């Protein structure tokens, strides 16, 4: 064959695969062009700024998880910068940015990091984000628990758990007693600090937790530099100090680490290389990768709402080598599996296993060759000797009644001779006896003693092992064995072998038991005879002893009967006797009885715990005793009530001076462990003999005066007067009948219409309670509402009003009056109930009324005491679509900046402004209120509209809704339908 033919055949063999490859590639490209999958767009919303370590780590994890896939999506990333600019203006700017940039982008999924971005995404998902599913990260358990809607949402919970870090710290330094917890005063900082403190307390390690949130930067570093070795610093998130100064985390963490005299443990891994000693650290990168994995599942078609939220730990146990070296802690003391960063390079340490393996292999190879030569000859001799030894052992075993046992102490494998199996009835290996299964056969009553004797011999405290115990046969019966043995030790004192014998002594034990029983019977008879001889003497001695014990017992019970166990002060019984004794001995004297009640003590008990409340009561008792001058006796009357008997008072002026001193004394704070508590007390005073000539009268009148002091504003005192008794009696009568008003169907609702000024149509009604008592007649709400709040009856009464009003509105809708709303007044007592939100939602569910038709009316004073607790409840209801109206606006205390924080939808102008609307000042003020409300995005309702002029003015100012006698007075429920029909007809 010629060279040309060879070249031609070679060319053909190369071109044929090339053509096939080009054909397949072209076909694939055509198929791809024909059925190209749609572009998937993922929007990543970060709560904080680019360059912030935590956010950058999360972002890196998300991008790594989304890009390292064959069909990776298009990723858009936006930063809210909420850490540095947490303002409404920033939120509005961010809103406009997203709206402009993504109005033509079809978002397939939204990934959020931390709470602010999640809140934004949930709020504007429908409006801006194509209702895309949301995958969150960086949100802790409390933040997740407060989410109102989990539809098409999943994510990764940032599980903050300080316990693993604290356990690591205690393992490295068991002497730790104090943990200085560092967090800032932001909402998330306080929440994180609260959770960390609760977790430390739940460890029950006796650690003292010292918060550092109220210190400036300088004070924190000064404190850390002077800490003793029994302390550590635990740093969470920290971005502003107690003075409000913004903190650059990296710089401050590094400065704190350098200045601290003790290790500074962290919660998050972005503290590494910035002064962090280490710990069990939350990783932003791991959270981002986990969230990206969830996003991939969503992009592949899974419903986000059906994907379980990831609660597994995203932690890494890591320490800084430089910090370990600084505090003289060897790396081998760290928990197993811990990472160490910044470790210097060492060839030996890096390749230690390889180096040692090579050396060991070489030595073993040489040794093996030498030993092999020696053992070739030795094995022959050993084999011969071993055969002879086995023959002797077998003959001795079978020829003896004893069981031979043996333990190889290096492998802890047990051996028993065949006679052991014959005696107990088991097959060899049946109970895993070679691995210690024989211990399960030892009688439970004998197992402890057998183990003690075995340990005693193994530790060298007995020359040989000897024990008797029962073992369970396969048939279920027990046999007694007498076991003897001895341990063989090496030259260094280590264990080699433990062997011995066992003998069946069941028959001997039976005989011993019979002998023991006979001996016990004889001994019992002897003891009975001896007891008869001593009985008379013992009876005499008991009579003498009982007489002495009776006297001691009487003193003890008298002390318990007349003194309070908690405070040690004399109790109510002791007070009654002291009053009677004083009145009998000082018939012409003068005294005063001070009745003290700690204000808001129930709130302290509910929030701080009963143990804290008991400690506070003890401190109050101690402070009262400290003011004793010889003329005053102090008693704990019960609960948070104390009574002082002030004898030989020199008149009302001296009583007043003493009362003012008591009030002043309570202004000093109480120090309870690490807490400082400010309290006040309401004091009622009854004078003897002016306000009572016996103990019962004085106590009753002092109690009435104390109640009057609480009504006057708490923290003061009131001296009893006859007018108080009449007022108190009237209040008691109203309270008595009010308790049965609901069950007796005495309560009813009237409804005052609210009209939309723009359309003139009925917007809805305000529900107003009325009480017609068969005994008291019609009782004014001004009288019984305040009493209902004082005695907590407002809770069931308020729920009844809400339920009746919602049912009434639902019935109106069913009668063809769709769209009517109902407005219901809410008391602060109701709002303070933990289940208030659940109660409102349950009423709506039971009555079938949609949330958007309900409006709750509150007053400004409601927010003064517990703004955060109440605001969170109202905010949750507002998110459900329920309206929140601020009643009597303009008569309270709120500033405009404070008003912006309230979760409200409507302002109600107080009637006092409408009554005087004909004067220029009031007209201008009313107009300003309407303007302010509209500028804040709120609806405005005017109350008390009674004239056409008032209506015309409000229409000119574009007030949204009005109510008042000009429209209609409050209408009984049965007449509402007729009134509506008449108005429509007119």
Give the Cα separation of 845 and 841 in Å (integer): 6
With beta carbons less than 8 A apart as the criterion, state whether 884 and 903 touch.
yes
More confident residue, 612 or 841: 841
pLDDT value for 781: 87
Using the predicted structure, report yes or no on whether residue 726 has a pLDDT greater than 70.
no
pLDDT band at 396 (very low <50, low <70, confident <90, very high): low
Q: Which of 180-189, 376-385, 469-478, 593-602 has the lowest mean pLDDT?
A: 376-385
For residue 24, the tally of other CB atoms under 10 A from its CB is 10
Choose among 258, 277, 290: nearest CA to 318. 277
Range among 546-555, 859-868, 959-968 with highest mean pLDDT value: 959-968
Annotate 288-325 with DSSP letters as a single string. Answer: HHHHHHHHHHHHTT--GGGSPPB-S--EEEEEEHHHHH
More confident of the two residues 887 and 884: 884
Which whole number is the average pLDDT over 366-376?
84
Lowest mean pLDDT among 106-115, 605-614, 667-676, 822-831: 605-614
Report d(CA 489, CA 636) in Å as an integer: 72
How many beta carbons lie within 10 A of that of residue 165, not counting itself? 24
The whole-number average pLDDT for the span 866-892 is: 82
738 with 788: CB under 8 angstroms? yes
Q: Which long-range contacts (CB under 8 A, 24 or more apart) does 191-197 make?
A: 191/140, 191/142, 191/143, 192/140, 192/160, 192/236, 192/237, 192/267, 193/236, 195/140, 195/141, 195/142, 195/160, 196/160, 196/162, 196/234, 196/236, 196/267
Closest Cα to residue 914, out of 884, 887, 949, 886?
949
Judge whether 823 and 853 are in contact, CB under 8 Å.
Answer: no
* CA dist., res. 277 & res. 269, Å (int): 11
pLDDT value of position 782:
79
Give the separation between CA 799 and CA 836, rounded to whole angstroms.
Answer: 9
DSSP labels for 413-429?
EEEE-HHHHHHHTPPTT
Is the pLDDT score of 975 beyond 90?
Answer: yes
Q: Exposed, middle or buried: residue 796 (CB in 10 Å: 0-12, 13-18, 19+)?
A: middle
- The pLDDT tens digits for 433-462 are 888 889 999 999 999 999 999 999 988 899
Tell me which of 47-56, 166-175, 197-206, 602-611 is least confident: 602-611
- The CA-based angle 614-615-621, given to 5 degrees, is 90
Which pLDDT does position 673 carry in this prediction? 81
Task: Give per-residue pLDDT as tens, 457-476.
Answer: 988 899 899 999 999 999 99
* pLDDT, position 548: 66
Cis ω before 689 (30° cut-off from 0): yes
pLDDT score at 10: 38
Q: pLDDT band for 787, please (50, 70, 90 cuts).
A: confident
Which 3 state secondary structure label does DSSP give 505?
Answer: coil
Mean pLDDT of 227-242: 89
pLDDT attached to residue 720: 85
What's the rounded Cα separation, in Å, for the pair 932 and 445? Answer: 85
Cβ neighbors of 919 (< 8 A, separation 6 or more) are none
Instruction: Round to whole Å and give the CA distance between 951 and 959.
Output: 9
Q: What percent of the chain has pLDDT over 90?
A: 33
Say what the pLDDT of residue 8 is.
38
CB-based contact 663:599 (threshold 8 Å): no
Q: Which long-range contacts (CB under 8 A, 24 or more apart) does 96-100 make?
A: 98/124, 98/128, 98/129, 99/128
pLDDT for the residue numbered 558:
65
The confidence band for 867, taking pLDDT boundaries of 50, 70 and 90, is low
Q: What does the DSSP assignment read for 24-57?
A: HHHHHHHHHHHTPPPP-EEEEEESS-TT-HHHHH
- Is a pLDDT exceeding 90 seen at residue 656? no
Is the pLDDT at 742 greater than 60? The verdict is yes
Residue 974 has, within 13 A of its CA and on its CB side, a CA count of 1
- How many Cβ atoms from other residues are within 10 Å of residue 409's Cβ? 16
By three-state DSSP, how is residue 886 classified? strand
Rounded to an integer, what distance in angstroms lies between the CA atom of residue 543 and that of residue 758? 97
Q: Does 823 score more than 70 pLDDT? A: yes
Q: What is the pLDDT of residue 923?
A: 77
Q: Residue 437 class from Cβ within 10 Å (0-12 exposed, 13-18 middle, 19+ buried)?
A: middle
pLDDT band at 52 (very low <50, low <70, confident <90, very high): confident
Instruction: Kindly report the average pLDDT of the chain as a whole number.
Output: 84
Q: How far apart are CA 816 and CA 799, in angstroms?
A: 26
Contact 195, 140 (CB under 8 A): yes
Residue 684 pLDDT level (bands cut at 50, 70, 90) = very high
Instruction: Name the 3-class secondary structure at 341.
Output: strand
Measured at the CA of 596, the angle between CA 594 and CA 598, to 5 degrees, comes to: 170
Range in 233-242, 380-389, 554-563 with the lowest mean pLDDT = 554-563
Choose the weakest-confidence range: 19-23, 115-119, 453-457, 513-517.
19-23
Give me the mean pLDDT over the 683-700 stretch. Answer: 86
Classified as helix, coil or strand, 748 is strand
Per cent of the chain over pLDDT 70 is 89
CA dihedral 197, 201, 206, 209 (to 10 degrees): 10
Q: What is the average per-residue pLDDT within 475-499?
A: 90
Nearest-angstrom CA–CA distance, 942 and 951? 9
Mean pLDDT of 871-896: 81
Distance CA 81, CA 50 (A): 8
Strand-pairing partners, residue 110, are 43, 134
Is 910's pLDDT higher than 60? Answer: yes
- Residue 359 banded pLDDT, cuts 50, 70, 90: confident
Q: Check whether 864 has a pLDDT greater than 60.
A: no
Lowest-confidence segment of 70-79, 195-204, 802-811, 915-924 by average pLDDT: 915-924
3-state class of 468 per DSSP?
strand
**Model confidence pLDDT, tens digit, residues 935-953:** 889 999 999 999 999 899 9
pLDDT at 36: 56
Summarize the confidence of residues 1-22 as an average pLDDT: 42
Is residue 662 scored above 70 in pLDDT?
yes
């Amino acid at each position: 064959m010629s060279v040309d033919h060879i070249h031609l055949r070679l060319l053909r063999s190369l071109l044929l695969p090339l053509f096939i490859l080009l054909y397949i590639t072209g076909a694939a490209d055509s198929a791809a062009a024909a059925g190209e999958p749609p572009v998937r767009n993922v929007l990543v919303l970060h709560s904080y700024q680019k360059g912030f370590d935590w956010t950058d780590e999360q972002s890196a994890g998300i991008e790594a998880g989304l890009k390292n896939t064959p069909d990776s999506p298009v990723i858009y990333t936006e930063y809210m910068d909420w850490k540095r600019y947490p303002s409404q203006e920033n939120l509005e700017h961010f809103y406009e940015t997203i709206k402009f940039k993504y109005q033509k982008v079809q978002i397939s999924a939204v990934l959020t990091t931390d709470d602010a971005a999640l809140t934004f995404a949930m709020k504007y998902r429908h409006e801006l984000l194509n209702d895309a599913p949301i995958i969150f990260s960086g949100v802790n358990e409390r933040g997740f628990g407060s989410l109102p809607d989990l539809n098409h949402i999943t994510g990764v919970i940032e599980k903050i758990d300080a316990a693993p870090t604290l356990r690591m710290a205690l393992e490295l330094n068991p002497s730790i007693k104090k943990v200085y917890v560092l967090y800032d005063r932001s909402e998330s900082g306080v929440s994180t600090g609260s959770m960390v403190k609760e977790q430390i307390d739940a460890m029950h390690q006796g650690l003292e937790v010292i918060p550092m949130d109220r210190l400036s930067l300088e004070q924190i570093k000064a404190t850390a530099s002077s800490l003793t070795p029994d302390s550590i610093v635990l740093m969470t998130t920290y971005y502003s100090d107690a003075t409000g100064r913004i903190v650059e985390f990296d710089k401050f963490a590094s400065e704190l680490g350098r200045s601290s005299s003790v290790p500074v443990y962290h919660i998050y891994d972005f503290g590494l290389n910035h002064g962090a000693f280490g710990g069990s650290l939350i990783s932003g990168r791991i959270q981002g990768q986990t969230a990206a994995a969830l996003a991939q599942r969503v992009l592949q078609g899974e419903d986000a709402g059906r994907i379980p939220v990831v609660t597994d730990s995203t932690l890494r146990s890591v320490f800084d080598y430089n910090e370990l070296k600084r505090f003289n802690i060897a790396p081998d003391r760290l928990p197993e599996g811990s990472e160490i960063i910044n470790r210097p390079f060492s060839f030996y340490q890096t390749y230690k296993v390889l180096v040692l393996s090579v050396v060991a292999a070489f030595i073993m190879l040489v040794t093996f060759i030498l030993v092999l030569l020696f053992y070739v000859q030795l094995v022959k001799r050993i084999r011969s000797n071993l055969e002879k030894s086995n023959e002797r052992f077998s003959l001795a075993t079978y020829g003896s009644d004893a069981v031979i046992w043996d333990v190889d102490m290096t492998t802890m494998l047990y051996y028993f001779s065949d006679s052991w199996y014959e005696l107990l009835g088991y097959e060899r290996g049946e109970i895993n006896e070679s691995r210690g299964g024989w211990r399960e056969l030892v009688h439970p009553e004998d197992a402890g003693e057998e183990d003690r004797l075995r340990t005693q011999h193994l530790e060298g405290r007995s020359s040989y092992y000897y024990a008797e115990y029962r073992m369970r046969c396969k048939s279920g019966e027990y046999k007694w064995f007498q076991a003897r043995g001895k341990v063989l030790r090496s030259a260094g004192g280590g264990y080699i072998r433990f062997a011995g014998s066992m003998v069946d002594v069941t028959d001997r034990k039976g005989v011993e038991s019979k002998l023991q029983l006979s001996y016990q019977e004889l001994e019992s008879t002897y003891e009975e005879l001896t007891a008869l001889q001593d009985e008379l003497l013992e009876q005499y001695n008991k009579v003498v002893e009982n007489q002495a014990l009776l006297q001691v017992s009487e003193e003890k019970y008298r002390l318990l009967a007349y003194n309070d166990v908690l405070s040690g002060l004399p109790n109510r019984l002791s007070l009654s006797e002291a009053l009677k004794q004083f009145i009998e001995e000082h018939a012409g004297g003068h005294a005063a009885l001070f009745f003290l009640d700690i204000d808001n003590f129930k709130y302290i008990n509910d929030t701080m715990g009963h143990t804290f409340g008991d400690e506070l009561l003890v401190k109050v008792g101690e402070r009262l005793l400290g003011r004793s001058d010889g003329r005053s006796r102090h008693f704990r009357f019960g609960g948070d009530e104390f009574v002082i008997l002030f004898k030989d008072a020199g008149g009302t002026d001296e009583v007043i001076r003493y009362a003012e001193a008591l009030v002043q004394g309570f202004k000093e704070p109480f120090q309870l462990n690490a807490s400082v508590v400010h309290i006040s007390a309401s004091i009622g005073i009854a004078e003897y003999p002016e306000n009572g000539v016996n103990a019962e009268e004085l106590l009753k009148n002092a109690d009435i005066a104390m109640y009057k002091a609480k009504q006057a504003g708490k923290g003061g005192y009131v001296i009893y007067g006859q007018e108080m008794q009449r007022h108190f009696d009237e209040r008691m009568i109203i309270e008595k009948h009010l308790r049965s008003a609901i069950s007796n169907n005495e309560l009813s609702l009237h409804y005052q219409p609210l009209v939309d000024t723009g359309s003139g149509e009925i917007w809805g009604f305000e529900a107003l309670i009325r009480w017609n008592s068969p005994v008291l007649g019609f009782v004014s709400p001004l009288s019984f509402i305040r009493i209902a709040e004082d005695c907590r009856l407002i809770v069931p009464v308020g729920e009844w009003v809400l339920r009746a009003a919602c049912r009434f509105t639902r019935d109106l809708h069913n009668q063809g009056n769709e769209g009517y709303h109902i407005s219901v007044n809410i008391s602060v007592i109701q709002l303070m109930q933990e289940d208030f939100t659940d109660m409102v939602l349950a009423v709506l569910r039971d009555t079938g009324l949609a949330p958007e038709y309900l409006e709750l009316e509150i007053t400004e004073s409601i927010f003064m005491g517990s703004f955060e607790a109440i605001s969170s409840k109202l905010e949750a209801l507002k998110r459900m679509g329920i309206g929140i109206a601020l009643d009597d606006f303009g008569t309270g205390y709120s500033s405009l900046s404070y008003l912006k924080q309230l979760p409200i939808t409507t302002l109600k102008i107080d009637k006092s402004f409408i009554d005087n609307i004909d004067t220029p000042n009031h007209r201008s003020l009313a107009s300003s209120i309407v303007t302010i409300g509209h500028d804040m995005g709120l609806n405005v309702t005017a109350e008390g509209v009674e004239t056409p002029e008032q209506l015309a003015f409000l229409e000119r100012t574009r007030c949204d809704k009005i109510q008042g006698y000009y429209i209609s007075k409050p209408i009984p429920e049965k007449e509402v339908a007729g009134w509506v029909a008449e108005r429509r007809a007119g």
